[in-house]
Structure 1
């Protein structure tokens, strides 16, 4: 049964490489949205360590790892480190957007 996972990226300092690969990265993310896998994503705000957060529904951690490995940001060396965690959203307005994961966790 699907669960909710977060994928945390920390980028390298190579901004030019990130800019060059961004279109392919965004195309990858759009395919995940179309497939119903990616719930939300975006970079950290200014002043933060360069990186981003992806929230997705997947069957298990291995599926999220495969998604990360296929991301052009990972393939092209834009991501310095990444971390995957299962997340159990319980409260708040966004919880309804994560209903699949909430059902799986209850």
Structure 2
């Protein structure tokens, strides 16, 4: 399996919608984590565009994209940009031999 780094950029004009859907978004991500697909995720903390970084494991970028299409944030069109890139960690907890 391949590890993928995914960046979400959120719609800054829809903060209330983001706050309203955040519990279901986190529940969705919790299920992916419990299933072993999601390795880590969390929001950016700097002053750049609001968003998050997700690290997932999957067979292909198409599979990971399909998984993330069910994210409540994605379904509500709160994610204005999603970047998905295959990643090979060399050090750390996600090392992929």
TM-score w.r.t. structure 1 length? Answer: 0.86
**Structure of greater Rg:** 1
| Aligned mates of 1:7, 1:73 — CA distance in 2 | 14
The corresponding residue for 1:8 is 7
TM-score w.r.t. structure 2 length? Answer: 0.93
Provide structure 1 residue ranges, at least 5 long, that are not aligned to the other structure: none
| Aligned mates of 1:81, 1:49 — CA distance in 2 | 11
Q: 2:94 aligns with which of 91, 94, 98?
A: 98
More helix, by proportion: 1
> Runs ≥4 in structure 1, deviation > 4 angstroms?
none
Q: What root-mean-square deviation, in Å, do the aligned CA atoms of Structure 1 and Structure 2 show? A: 1.0
| Aligned mates of 2:28, 2:84 — CA distance in 1 | 18
